[in-house]
Structure 1
Amino acid sequence: MRLMFTGSLLSALLVLLLVSSPLLADNKHSKAELEQQLQQLDPRIRIVSLQAAPLAGFHEVVLNTGDLLYVHEAGRYFFAGSLLEINDGQLLDLTEQARGKQRQQAIQSVPANEQVVFPATGETRAVVQVFTDITCPYCVRLHQQVPELNRQGVEVRYLAFPRQGEQSPGFQQLVNVWCAADRQQAMNRAKGGQRVAEASCDNPVAAQYELGRRQGIQGTPAILLPDGQLIPGFVPAQRLLSELGL
Protein backbone atom coordinates (compact mmCIF):
# COMPACT_ATOMS: atom_id res chain seq x y z
CA MET A 1 0.00 0.00 0.00
CA ARG A 2 1.28 3.47 -0.82
CA LEU A 3 1.70 5.59 2.30
CA MET A 4 2.09 9.33 2.24
CA PHE A 5 3.78 9.28 5.65
CA THR A 6 7.55 9.19 6.05
CA GLY A 7 8.98 6.07 7.64
CA SER A 8 9.67 7.85 10.92
CA LEU A 9 6.17 9.32 11.03
CA LEU A 10 4.57 5.96 10.35
CA SER A 11 6.67 4.44 13.15
CA ALA A 12 5.55 7.21 15.48
CA LEU A 13 1.94 6.55 14.51
CA LEU A 14 2.36 2.88 15.43
CA VAL A 15 3.85 3.75 18.82
CA LEU A 16 1.08 6.26 19.52
CA LEU A 17 -1.67 3.75 18.82
CA LEU A 18 0.05 1.02 20.82
CA VAL A 19 0.34 3.13 23.96
CA SER A 20 -2.89 5.09 23.68
CA SER A 21 -5.99 4.44 25.70
CA PRO A 22 -8.93 2.85 23.84
CA LEU A 23 -9.93 5.23 21.07
CA LEU A 24 -13.09 3.68 19.76
CA ALA A 25 -14.97 2.58 22.85
CA ASP A 26 -17.51 5.35 22.39
CA ASN A 27 -18.79 5.20 18.79
CA LYS A 28 -20.27 8.69 19.09
CA HIS A 29 -16.84 10.24 19.56
CA SER A 30 -14.54 7.63 18.03
CA LYS A 31 -13.81 9.48 14.79
CA ALA A 32 -12.99 12.76 16.54
CA GLU A 33 -10.86 11.02 19.16
CA LEU A 34 -8.85 9.06 16.63
CA GLU A 35 -8.39 12.13 14.45
CA GLN A 36 -7.16 14.08 17.45
CA GLN A 37 -4.58 11.40 18.18
CA LEU A 38 -3.35 11.38 14.58
CA GLN A 39 -3.09 15.17 14.53
CA GLN A 40 -0.58 15.03 17.34
CA LEU A 41 1.75 13.63 14.70
CA ASP A 42 0.69 15.86 11.83
CA PRO A 43 -2.02 18.55 12.20
CA ARG A 44 -2.85 18.23 8.50
CA ILE A 45 -4.27 14.72 8.96
CA ARG A 46 -8.02 14.40 8.61
CA ILE A 47 -10.23 11.32 8.66
CA VAL A 48 -12.39 11.22 5.56
CA SER A 49 -14.37 8.19 6.63
CA LEU A 50 -14.54 5.62 9.41
CA GLN A 51 -16.65 2.49 9.12
CA ALA A 52 -16.71 -1.13 10.20
CA ALA A 53 -14.12 -3.22 8.38
CA PRO A 54 -14.90 -6.68 6.96
CA LEU A 55 -12.56 -8.02 9.67
CA ALA A 56 -14.43 -8.33 12.98
CA GLY A 57 -13.20 -5.95 15.65
CA PHE A 58 -11.54 -3.52 13.22
CA HIS A 59 -12.56 -0.23 11.65
CA GLU A 60 -11.65 0.88 8.14
CA VAL A 61 -10.20 4.41 8.30
CA VAL A 62 -9.59 6.54 5.20
CA LEU A 63 -7.36 9.59 5.62
CA ASN A 64 -7.30 12.77 3.56
CA THR A 65 -3.96 11.59 2.15
CA GLY A 66 -5.84 8.76 0.45
CA ASP A 67 -4.28 6.19 2.77
CA LEU A 68 -6.45 3.40 4.14
CA LEU A 69 -5.78 1.95 7.60
CA TYR A 70 -7.43 -0.77 9.65
CA VAL A 71 -7.67 0.20 13.32
CA HIS A 72 -8.67 -2.16 16.11
CA GLU A 73 -11.82 -1.10 17.95
CA ALA A 74 -9.82 -0.84 21.20
CA GLY A 75 -7.42 1.58 19.47
CA ARG A 76 -4.36 -0.46 20.41
CA TYR A 77 -3.46 -2.04 17.06
CA PHE A 78 -3.59 -1.02 13.44
CA PHE A 79 -2.24 -2.22 10.13
CA ALA A 80 -1.75 -0.69 6.71
CA GLY A 81 -1.89 -3.31 3.99
CA SER A 82 -4.15 -5.54 1.95
CA LEU A 83 -6.96 -7.41 3.66
CA LEU A 84 -7.55 -10.65 1.75
CA GLU A 85 -10.46 -13.06 1.96
CA ILE A 86 -10.80 -16.63 0.70
CA ASN A 87 -14.29 -16.91 -0.74
CA ASP A 88 -15.48 -20.03 -2.59
CA GLY A 89 -11.91 -20.97 -3.41
CA GLN A 90 -11.05 -17.52 -4.73
CA LEU A 91 -8.77 -14.94 -3.14
CA LEU A 92 -10.45 -11.52 -2.90
CA ASP A 93 -8.55 -8.32 -2.16
CA LEU A 94 -11.03 -6.48 0.05
CA THR A 95 -8.69 -3.50 0.45
CA GLU A 96 -8.48 -3.02 -3.32
CA GLN A 97 -12.27 -3.17 -3.51
CA ALA A 98 -12.46 -0.41 -0.88
CA ARG A 99 -9.87 1.65 -2.73
CA GLY A 100 -11.83 1.14 -5.93
CA LYS A 101 -14.89 2.74 -4.36
CA GLN A 102 -12.73 5.66 -3.20
CA ARG A 103 -11.28 6.12 -6.68
CA GLN A 104 -14.70 5.84 -8.28
CA GLN A 105 -16.08 8.65 -6.13
CA ALA A 106 -13.01 10.87 -6.48
CA ILE A 107 -12.38 10.49 -10.20
CA GLN A 108 -15.98 10.55 -11.34
CA SER A 109 -16.47 13.83 -9.47
CA VAL A 110 -14.18 15.58 -11.99
CA PRO A 111 -16.44 17.52 -14.41
CA ALA A 112 -16.33 16.36 -18.02
CA ASN A 113 -15.47 19.88 -19.15
CA GLU A 114 -12.20 19.63 -17.21
CA GLN A 115 -11.18 16.49 -19.10
CA VAL A 116 -10.23 15.81 -22.71
CA VAL A 117 -13.13 13.70 -23.93
CA PHE A 118 -13.22 11.34 -26.91
CA PRO A 119 -16.91 10.30 -27.08
CA ALA A 120 -18.19 6.93 -28.21
CA THR A 121 -19.49 6.52 -31.70
CA GLY A 122 -23.22 6.00 -31.36
CA GLU A 123 -24.44 4.54 -28.06
CA THR A 124 -22.13 5.02 -25.06
CA ARG A 125 -21.73 1.59 -23.49
CA ALA A 126 -18.98 2.48 -21.00
CA VAL A 127 -16.81 5.40 -19.88
CA VAL A 128 -13.15 4.99 -18.93
CA GLN A 129 -10.92 7.68 -17.50
CA VAL A 130 -7.20 7.69 -18.18
CA PHE A 131 -4.42 9.58 -16.43
CA THR A 132 -2.05 10.48 -19.24
CA ASP A 133 1.25 12.20 -20.03
CA ILE A 134 2.31 13.47 -23.46
CA THR A 135 5.92 12.31 -22.88
CA CYS A 136 4.86 8.71 -22.14
CA PRO A 137 5.37 6.28 -25.08
CA TYR A 138 2.80 3.84 -23.74
CA CYS A 139 0.26 6.67 -23.51
CA VAL A 140 0.85 7.23 -27.22
CA ARG A 141 0.23 3.53 -27.90
CA LEU A 142 -2.98 3.62 -25.87
CA HIS A 143 -4.13 6.73 -27.72
CA GLN A 144 -3.80 4.81 -30.97
CA GLN A 145 -6.44 2.41 -29.58
CA VAL A 146 -8.94 5.19 -28.83
CA PRO A 147 -10.67 5.22 -32.26
CA GLU A 148 -11.39 1.48 -31.94
CA LEU A 149 -12.64 1.91 -28.38
CA ASN A 150 -14.92 4.73 -29.54
CA ARG A 151 -16.28 2.53 -32.33
CA GLN A 152 -17.08 -0.15 -29.73
CA GLY A 153 -19.09 2.32 -27.65
CA VAL A 154 -16.41 3.31 -25.11
CA GLU A 155 -16.00 6.98 -24.22
CA VAL A 156 -12.43 7.83 -23.23
CA ARG A 157 -11.82 10.76 -20.89
CA TYR A 158 -8.27 11.95 -20.26
CA LEU A 159 -6.98 13.42 -17.01
CA ALA A 160 -3.57 15.08 -16.75
CA PHE A 161 -0.72 13.36 -14.93
CA PRO A 162 2.74 14.82 -15.68
CA ARG A 163 4.68 11.83 -14.31
CA GLN A 164 7.90 13.79 -13.83
CA GLY A 165 6.26 16.52 -11.79
CA GLU A 166 5.05 20.07 -12.11
CA GLN A 167 8.43 21.45 -13.15
CA SER A 168 8.83 19.01 -16.05
CA PRO A 169 8.45 19.77 -19.78
CA GLY A 170 5.58 17.27 -19.76
CA PHE A 171 3.61 19.51 -17.41
CA GLN A 172 3.69 22.43 -19.86
CA GLN A 173 2.81 20.12 -22.75
CA LEU A 174 -0.32 19.05 -20.90
CA VAL A 175 -1.17 22.68 -20.13
CA ASN A 176 -0.83 23.43 -23.84
CA VAL A 177 -3.40 20.72 -24.62
CA TRP A 178 -5.83 21.76 -21.89
CA CYS A 179 -5.61 25.43 -22.92
CA ALA A 180 -6.08 24.75 -26.63
CA ALA A 181 -9.29 25.92 -28.31
CA ASP A 182 -9.84 22.32 -29.50
CA ARG A 183 -8.53 19.94 -26.84
CA GLN A 184 -9.27 16.83 -28.88
CA GLN A 185 -7.27 18.09 -31.84
CA ALA A 186 -4.47 19.27 -29.56
CA MET A 187 -4.29 15.85 -27.87
CA ASN A 188 -4.19 14.11 -31.24
CA ARG A 189 -1.38 16.38 -32.39
CA ALA A 190 0.60 16.01 -29.18
CA LYS A 191 0.25 12.22 -29.09
CA GLY A 192 1.18 12.16 -32.79
CA GLY A 193 4.48 13.87 -32.11
CA GLN A 194 3.39 17.20 -33.53
CA ARG A 195 3.92 20.55 -31.89
CA VAL A 196 1.07 22.14 -29.96
CA ALA A 197 1.31 25.90 -29.53
CA GLU A 198 2.39 26.96 -26.06
CA ALA A 199 -0.52 28.37 -24.11
CA SER A 200 -1.49 29.63 -20.70
CA CYS A 201 -4.90 29.63 -19.05
CA ASP A 202 -6.74 28.73 -15.87
CA ASN A 203 -6.38 24.94 -16.12
CA PRO A 204 -6.81 21.82 -13.94
CA VAL A 205 -3.50 20.11 -14.78
CA ALA A 206 -1.88 20.61 -11.35
CA ALA A 207 -5.11 19.67 -9.53
CA GLN A 208 -5.55 16.50 -11.58
CA TYR A 209 -1.92 15.54 -10.98
CA GLU A 210 -2.46 15.86 -7.23
CA LEU A 211 -5.74 13.95 -7.48
CA GLY A 212 -3.93 11.11 -9.22
CA ARG A 213 -1.22 11.00 -6.60
CA ARG A 214 -3.83 10.80 -3.84
CA GLN A 215 -5.33 7.78 -5.59
CA GLY A 216 -1.97 6.01 -5.67
CA ILE A 217 -1.20 6.70 -9.33
CA GLN A 218 2.54 6.47 -9.92
CA GLY A 219 2.85 6.16 -13.68
CA THR A 220 1.02 6.48 -16.96
CA PRO A 221 -1.18 5.45 -18.55
CA ALA A 222 -3.40 4.64 -15.59
CA ILE A 223 -6.83 3.44 -16.69
CA LEU A 224 -9.83 3.74 -14.37
CA LEU A 225 -12.82 1.51 -15.12
CA PRO A 226 -16.37 2.61 -14.19
CA ASP A 227 -16.27 0.57 -10.95
CA GLY A 228 -13.03 2.24 -9.83
CA GLN A 229 -10.76 -0.65 -10.78
CA LEU A 230 -7.30 0.57 -11.73
CA ILE A 231 -5.41 -0.90 -14.69
CA PRO A 232 -1.82 0.38 -14.62
CA GLY A 233 -0.03 0.61 -17.94
CA PHE A 234 -0.92 0.00 -21.57
CA VAL A 235 -3.48 -2.61 -22.59
CA PRO A 236 -4.75 -3.21 -26.14
CA ALA A 237 -8.31 -2.32 -27.03
CA GLN A 238 -9.57 -5.91 -27.05
CA ARG A 239 -8.32 -6.61 -23.54
CA LEU A 240 -9.83 -3.38 -22.25
CA LEU A 241 -13.15 -4.25 -23.89
CA SER A 242 -12.98 -7.63 -22.17
CA GLU A 243 -12.35 -5.98 -18.80
CA LEU A 244 -15.42 -3.85 -19.43
CA GLY A 245 -17.51 -6.90 -20.28
CA LEU A 246 -18.13 -5.67 -23.84
Structure 2
Amino acid sequence: MQRAAIALMLLTGASAVAAEPDPALEAARAKISEMFEMIEPEDVGRSPIDGWYTIQKGSVVAYVSADARFLLQGDLIDLDSQVNLTEMSRNDARRDLMATLTDADSIVFSPAEARHEVTIFTDIDCTYCRRMHSQIDQYLEQGIAVRYLLYPRSGPNSRSWSTSEDVWCANNRNDALTAAKLDREFATQQCDASMISKHYSLGREVGLSGTPAIVLEDGTLIGGYLPPAQLGARLNQAVAHP
Protein backbone atom coordinates (compact mmCIF):
# COMPACT_ATOMS: atom_id res chain seq x y z
CA MET A 1 0.00 0.00 0.00
CA GLN A 2 2.82 2.39 0.96
CA ARG A 3 4.75 1.60 -2.22
CA ALA A 4 1.71 2.25 -4.38
CA ALA A 5 1.09 5.55 -2.60
CA ILE A 6 4.68 6.67 -3.16
CA ALA A 7 4.48 5.77 -6.83
CA LEU A 8 1.18 7.59 -7.18
CA MET A 9 2.69 10.73 -5.68
CA LEU A 10 5.61 10.51 -8.10
CA LEU A 11 3.35 10.10 -11.10
CA THR A 12 0.93 12.77 -9.91
CA GLY A 13 3.80 15.15 -9.38
CA ALA A 14 5.05 14.48 -12.88
CA SER A 15 1.60 15.23 -14.29
CA ALA A 16 1.37 18.47 -12.37
CA VAL A 17 4.71 19.63 -13.74
CA ALA A 18 3.62 18.69 -17.24
CA ALA A 19 0.89 21.32 -17.05
CA GLU A 20 3.52 24.09 -16.86
CA PRO A 21 4.93 25.57 -20.10
CA ASP A 22 7.92 23.53 -21.21
CA PRO A 23 9.55 24.53 -24.52
CA ALA A 24 11.84 21.47 -24.41
CA LEU A 25 8.83 19.18 -24.03
CA GLU A 26 7.05 20.82 -26.95
CA ALA A 27 10.19 20.49 -29.07
CA ALA A 28 10.50 16.80 -28.13
CA ARG A 29 6.83 16.23 -28.93
CA ALA A 30 7.22 17.82 -32.35
CA LYS A 31 10.35 15.82 -33.17
CA ILE A 32 9.02 12.47 -31.92
CA SER A 33 5.64 12.81 -33.64
CA GLU A 34 7.48 13.70 -36.85
CA MET A 35 9.78 10.67 -36.57
CA PHE A 36 7.08 8.15 -35.63
CA GLU A 37 3.83 8.26 -37.57
CA MET A 38 1.81 6.47 -34.87
CA ILE A 39 2.88 8.84 -32.08
CA GLU A 40 0.78 11.93 -31.41
CA PRO A 41 2.26 14.96 -29.61
CA GLU A 42 0.03 14.29 -26.59
CA ASP A 43 1.57 10.79 -26.28
CA VAL A 44 4.78 12.45 -25.06
CA GLY A 45 4.84 13.78 -21.50
CA ARG A 46 6.97 14.32 -18.42
CA SER A 47 8.62 11.38 -16.67
CA PRO A 48 9.79 11.05 -13.04
CA ILE A 49 13.40 11.52 -14.27
CA ASP A 50 14.71 15.01 -14.99
CA GLY A 51 15.87 15.39 -18.57
CA TRP A 52 13.73 12.55 -19.88
CA TYR A 53 10.18 12.34 -21.21
CA THR A 54 7.72 9.46 -21.37
CA ILE A 55 6.25 8.18 -24.62
CA GLN A 56 3.09 6.17 -24.05
CA LYS A 57 0.81 4.64 -26.66
CA GLY A 58 -1.72 2.40 -24.99
CA SER A 59 0.25 0.12 -22.71
CA VAL A 60 3.48 0.58 -24.68
CA VAL A 61 5.84 2.83 -22.71
CA ALA A 62 9.25 4.20 -23.68
CA TYR A 63 11.43 7.11 -22.64
CA VAL A 64 13.14 9.79 -24.72
CA SER A 65 15.86 12.23 -23.74
CA ALA A 66 14.95 15.91 -23.58
CA ASP A 67 16.89 16.62 -26.78
CA ALA A 68 14.98 13.75 -28.47
CA ARG A 69 18.27 12.08 -29.36
CA PHE A 70 18.10 8.95 -27.21
CA LEU A 71 15.20 6.49 -26.95
CA LEU A 72 15.06 3.98 -24.10
CA GLN A 73 12.71 1.01 -23.87
CA GLY A 74 12.51 -0.81 -20.56
CA ASP A 75 11.10 -0.65 -17.06
CA LEU A 76 11.68 2.35 -14.82
CA ILE A 77 11.92 1.17 -11.21
CA ASP A 78 12.06 3.38 -8.13
CA LEU A 79 14.63 1.56 -6.02
CA ASP A 80 13.67 3.38 -2.81
CA SER A 81 10.04 2.30 -2.98
CA GLN A 82 10.69 -0.87 -5.05
CA VAL A 83 7.87 0.18 -7.39
CA ASN A 84 7.91 -0.49 -11.13
CA LEU A 85 6.64 2.87 -12.35
CA THR A 86 6.51 1.74 -15.97
CA GLU A 87 4.32 -1.24 -15.15
CA MET A 88 2.00 1.01 -13.15
CA SER A 89 1.59 3.17 -16.26
CA ARG A 90 0.89 0.07 -18.33
CA ASN A 91 -1.70 -1.12 -15.80
CA ASP A 92 -3.47 2.24 -15.90
CA ALA A 93 -3.55 2.12 -19.70
CA ARG A 94 -4.87 -1.46 -19.77
CA ARG A 95 -7.54 -0.62 -17.20
CA ASP A 96 -8.69 2.34 -19.29
CA LEU A 97 -8.72 0.24 -22.47
CA MET A 98 -10.83 -2.45 -20.83
CA ALA A 99 -13.22 0.22 -19.55
CA THR A 100 -14.12 1.06 -23.15
CA LEU A 101 -15.80 -2.35 -23.49
CA THR A 102 -19.31 -3.30 -22.45
CA ASP A 103 -20.66 -6.80 -21.86
CA ALA A 104 -22.20 -6.60 -25.33
CA ASP A 105 -18.67 -6.25 -26.75
CA SER A 106 -17.49 -9.53 -25.23
CA ILE A 107 -18.56 -13.07 -24.38
CA VAL A 108 -19.34 -13.20 -20.68
CA PHE A 109 -19.54 -16.21 -18.38
CA SER A 110 -20.79 -15.02 -15.01
CA PRO A 111 -21.64 -16.74 -11.70
CA ALA A 112 -24.85 -16.01 -9.81
CA GLU A 113 -22.88 -13.74 -7.47
CA ALA A 114 -19.71 -12.32 -8.98
CA ARG A 115 -17.04 -11.12 -6.56
CA HIS A 116 -14.44 -10.45 -9.23
CA GLU A 117 -14.26 -9.84 -12.96
CA VAL A 118 -11.40 -10.60 -15.32
CA THR A 119 -10.98 -10.04 -19.04
CA ILE A 120 -9.35 -12.93 -20.89
CA PHE A 121 -7.93 -12.74 -24.39
CA THR A 122 -8.45 -16.21 -25.81
CA ASP A 123 -7.54 -18.01 -29.02
CA ILE A 124 -9.94 -20.68 -30.27
CA ASP A 125 -7.12 -23.14 -30.93
CA CYS A 126 -4.42 -22.55 -28.30
CA THR A 127 -3.91 -25.48 -25.93
CA TYR A 128 -3.92 -23.57 -22.65
CA CYS A 129 -6.87 -21.43 -23.77
CA ARG A 130 -8.81 -24.66 -24.21
CA ARG A 131 -7.62 -26.00 -20.89
CA MET A 132 -8.69 -22.79 -19.19
CA HIS A 133 -12.13 -22.85 -20.75
CA SER A 134 -12.61 -26.52 -19.86
CA GLN A 135 -12.50 -25.32 -16.23
CA ILE A 136 -14.88 -22.39 -16.71
CA ASP A 137 -17.32 -23.77 -14.12
CA GLN A 138 -14.52 -23.85 -11.54
CA TYR A 139 -13.68 -20.20 -12.23
CA LEU A 140 -17.34 -19.34 -11.75
CA GLU A 141 -17.33 -21.26 -8.45
CA GLN A 142 -14.53 -18.93 -7.33
CA GLY A 143 -16.93 -16.02 -7.87
CA ILE A 144 -15.07 -14.88 -10.98
CA ALA A 145 -16.95 -13.42 -13.92
CA VAL A 146 -14.99 -14.12 -17.10
CA ARG A 147 -15.23 -11.66 -19.96
CA TYR A 148 -13.75 -13.22 -23.10
CA LEU A 149 -12.22 -11.28 -25.97
CA LEU A 150 -11.40 -13.28 -29.09
CA TYR A 151 -7.77 -12.97 -30.14
CA PRO A 152 -6.84 -15.23 -33.09
CA ARG A 153 -3.05 -15.25 -32.79
CA SER A 154 -2.60 -16.26 -36.43
CA GLY A 155 -4.21 -12.98 -37.48
CA PRO A 156 -6.72 -12.06 -40.19
CA ASN A 157 -7.47 -14.43 -43.06
CA SER A 158 -6.68 -17.46 -40.89
CA ARG A 159 -8.88 -20.39 -39.91
CA SER A 160 -8.88 -19.25 -36.28
CA TRP A 161 -10.04 -15.79 -37.34
CA SER A 162 -12.85 -17.25 -39.43
CA THR A 163 -13.94 -19.52 -36.57
CA SER A 164 -13.88 -16.55 -34.19
CA GLU A 165 -16.19 -14.66 -36.54
CA ASP A 166 -18.51 -17.67 -36.67
CA VAL A 167 -18.60 -17.79 -32.87
CA TRP A 168 -19.40 -14.08 -32.71
CA CYS A 169 -22.24 -14.48 -35.19
CA ALA A 170 -23.82 -17.46 -33.40
CA ASN A 171 -27.18 -17.00 -31.69
CA ASN A 172 -25.63 -18.28 -28.46
CA ARG A 173 -22.03 -17.12 -28.36
CA ASN A 174 -21.28 -18.84 -25.06
CA ASP A 175 -22.32 -22.25 -26.36
CA ALA A 176 -20.60 -21.61 -29.69
CA LEU A 177 -17.32 -20.72 -27.99
CA THR A 178 -17.44 -23.89 -25.92
CA ALA A 179 -18.20 -25.98 -29.01
CA ALA A 180 -15.40 -24.34 -31.02
CA LYS A 181 -12.86 -25.11 -28.32
CA LEU A 182 -13.96 -28.76 -28.45
CA ASP A 183 -13.75 -28.84 -32.28
CA ARG A 184 -17.48 -29.41 -32.45
CA GLU A 185 -19.85 -27.94 -35.00
CA PHE A 186 -22.24 -25.16 -34.00
CA ALA A 187 -24.92 -23.10 -35.70
CA THR A 188 -23.90 -19.67 -36.95
CA GLN A 189 -25.10 -17.06 -39.41
CA GLN A 190 -23.98 -14.00 -41.33
CA CYS A 191 -23.49 -10.90 -39.20
CA ASP A 192 -21.24 -7.90 -38.59
CA ALA A 193 -18.17 -9.59 -37.09
CA SER A 194 -16.00 -6.47 -37.00
CA MET A 195 -15.80 -6.88 -33.22
CA ILE A 196 -13.10 -9.51 -33.79
CA SER A 197 -10.92 -6.81 -35.33
CA LYS A 198 -11.59 -4.61 -32.29
CA HIS A 199 -10.63 -7.43 -29.91
CA TYR A 200 -7.48 -8.08 -31.92
CA SER A 201 -6.50 -4.40 -31.92
CA LEU A 202 -7.09 -4.17 -28.18
CA GLY A 203 -4.85 -7.18 -27.65
CA ARG A 204 -2.05 -5.48 -29.54
CA GLU A 205 -2.55 -2.27 -27.56
CA VAL A 206 -2.51 -4.20 -24.30
CA GLY A 207 0.84 -5.69 -25.32
CA LEU A 208 -0.02 -9.37 -25.58
CA SER A 209 2.81 -11.82 -26.15
CA GLY A 210 0.54 -14.87 -26.27
CA THR A 211 -2.72 -16.39 -25.12
CA PRO A 212 -4.43 -16.87 -22.81
CA ALA A 213 -3.84 -13.45 -21.30
CA ILE A 214 -5.74 -12.34 -18.21
CA VAL A 215 -6.34 -8.66 -17.45
CA LEU A 216 -7.39 -7.97 -13.87
CA GLU A 217 -9.69 -5.13 -12.88
CA ASP A 218 -6.74 -2.89 -11.95
CA GLY A 219 -5.13 -3.46 -15.36
CA THR A 220 -2.56 -6.02 -14.22
CA LEU A 221 -1.72 -8.42 -17.05
CA ILE A 222 -1.14 -12.10 -16.31
CA GLY A 223 0.35 -13.85 -19.31
CA GLY A 224 -0.63 -17.50 -19.55
CA TYR A 225 -2.86 -20.02 -17.83
CA LEU A 226 -3.65 -19.72 -14.13
CA PRO A 227 -5.70 -22.47 -12.41
CA PRO A 228 -9.06 -21.43 -10.91
CA ALA A 229 -8.00 -21.69 -7.25
CA GLN A 230 -4.80 -19.71 -7.84
CA LEU A 231 -6.59 -16.97 -9.76
CA GLY A 232 -9.29 -16.80 -7.08
CA ALA A 233 -6.66 -16.53 -4.33
CA ARG A 234 -4.83 -13.77 -6.19
CA LEU A 235 -8.01 -11.77 -6.70
CA ASN A 236 -9.03 -12.20 -3.06
CA GLN A 237 -5.59 -11.02 -1.96
CA ALA A 238 -5.84 -7.96 -4.20
CA VAL A 239 -9.12 -7.02 -2.52
CA ALA A 240 -7.73 -7.61 0.99
CA HIS A 241 -4.49 -5.71 0.30
CA PRO A 242 -5.17 -3.06 -2.37
Normalising by the residue count of structure 2, what TM-score does the alignment of the two structures yield? 0.80
Query: Greater shift after overlay, 190-199 or 232-241?
Result: 190-199
The alignment status of 1:100 with 2:58, answered yes or no, reads: no
Cα 1:27/1:93, change in 2 over 3 Å: same
Contact 2:25 2:45 in 1 (8 A): no
2:123, 2:174 → 1: CA distance? 15
Q: CA RMSD in A?
A: 2.3
Contact 1:145 1:237 in 2 (8 A): yes
Query: Greater shift after overlay, 42-51 or 150-159?
Result: 42-51
Deviation at 1:168, TM superposition (A): 1.1
Deviation at 1:75, TM superposition (A): 4.2
Identical columns (%): 31
Higher helix share: 2
Aligned equivalent of 2:110, options 92, 107, 119: 119
1:32, 1:107 → 2: CA distance? 30
Contact 1:50 1:61 in 2 (8 A): yes
Cα 1:110/1:215, change in 2 over 3 Å: same
Cα 1:69/1:165, change in 2 over 3 Å: same
Task: Spell out, residue by residue over 1:204-235, the C-alpha distance to the aligned partner (whole angstroms, 9 max, x if none).
Answer: 00121011112211211010011111111111
Residue aligning to 2:215: 224
Residue aligning to 1:67: 60
Query: Greater shift after overlay, 129-138 or 213-222?
Result: 213-222
Residue aligning to 1:54: 48
Contact 1:118 1:184 in 2 (8 A): yes
The alignment status of 1:212 with 2:203, answered yes or no, reads: yes
Residue aligning to 1:36: 30
Residue aligning to 1:235: 226
Contact 1:53 1:59 in 2 (8 A): yes
SS at match of 2:236: coil
| 1:130-145 map, 5 Å | 130-145=120-135
Task: Spell out, residue by residue over 1:68-92, the C-alpha distance to the aligned partner (whole angstroms, 9 max, x if none).
Answer: 122334545442211122246xx43
What runs of 5+ residues in structure 1 fail to find an aligned partner? Answer: 1-23
Residue aligning to 1:164: 154
SS at match of 2:178: helix
1:99, 1:213 → 2: CA distance? 13
Query: Greater shift after overlay, 37-46 or 77-86?
Result: 37-46
1:42, 1:77 → 2: CA distance? 14
1:30, 1:149 → 2: CA distance? 50
1:242, 1:48 → 2: CA distance? 39
Cα 1:211/1:29, change in 2 over 3 Å: farther
What runs of 5+ residues in structure 2 fail to find an aligned partner? Answer: 1-17, 238-242
Deviation at 1:59, TM superposition (A): 2.7
1:74, 1:48 → 2: CA distance? 17
Aligned equivalent of 1:151, options 127, 141, 153: 141
SS at match of 1:244: helix
1:44, 1:77 → 2: CA distance? 18
1:201, 1:120 → 2: CA distance? 28
Structure 2 counterpart of 1:83, which letter?
A: L
1:44, 1:50 → 2: CA distance? 12
